[in-house]
Amino acid sequence: MDYPDDVRYTQDHEWAKQEGGVVTVGITSYATDQLGDVVFVELPEVGRRLEAGKSFGVVEAVKTVSDLFAPVSGEVVEVNGAIGDNPALVNQSPFGDGWMVKIRPADAGEFGKLLSNVDYENLVEESH
């Protein structure tokens, strides 16, 4: 499976995309494949401060629940309202319309420390 090369990844199966001064965050297709049908995503409010590596929300799937871990520290500037009404967007388009939050990063250096798509693919392969 090829993972998009225009984003970076965490060990907990989040992806992060840096555009302008904002980092968009979601979960990967590997995560949605493991989780199954997503039924609810609990996300923080705009303005909340996130800390890299700490939980900032929860993804509820029919069969299991998973914490969301912040790839970078910063302030939440936007939350995807569409997945409130239609959580299936996360399964249908995990790297696109299923995005979760946008963060204004506090530390510009953190993004570069995240995994490349190749490293992420290796990580996923090893766990099989």
Partner 1 sequence: MSSTTALRRTPFHEFHRQAGAKLVDFAGFEMPVRYTGDVREHLAVRNAVGLFDITHMGEFEVRGPGALEYLNRLVTNDVAGLAVGQALYSPMCRPDAGIVDDLLVYRYADHFMVVVNASNMGKDFGWMDEHRPPGVVLEDRSATTALLAVQGPRASAVLRDHVPAAALELGYYRFTTGSLFGVPGTISRTGYTGEDGFELYFGAEHGARVWEEIVAAGRPHGLELIGLGARDTLRLEMGYMLYGNDIDDTTSPLEAGLGWTVKLQKGDFHGRDVLVRQKSEGLKRRLVGFQLEGRRVPRHGMSLLAQGRTVGLVTSGTFSPSLERPIGMGYVETALAAVGTPLEIQAGGASLPARVTARPFYTRGSHRS
54 near partner 1, rule: CB under 8 A: no
List the structure tokens of 90. 């996360």
Contact 23, 17 (CB under 8 A): yes
* CA–CA separation, 83 and 39 (whole Å): 9
Query: d(Cα 24, Cα 77) in Å, to the nearest integer?
Result: 10
39 makes contact with partner 1 (CB under 8 A): yes
CB of residue 13 vs partner 1: minimum separation in angstroms?
Answer: 16
Q: Which of 33, 46, 113, 122 binds partner 1 (CB under 8 A)?
A: 33
> Mask of contacts with partner 1, 79-118, x by CB under 8 A?
------------x---------------------------
Round to the nearest angstrom and report the end-to-end CA distance of the chain: 13
In the set 1, 2, 47, 62, which binds partner 1 (CB under 8 A)?
62
Give yes or no for a contact between 35 and 64, defined as CB atoms under 8 angstroms apart: yes
Contacts to partner 1 by CB under 8 A = 33, 36-37, 39-40, 42, 58, 60-65, 91
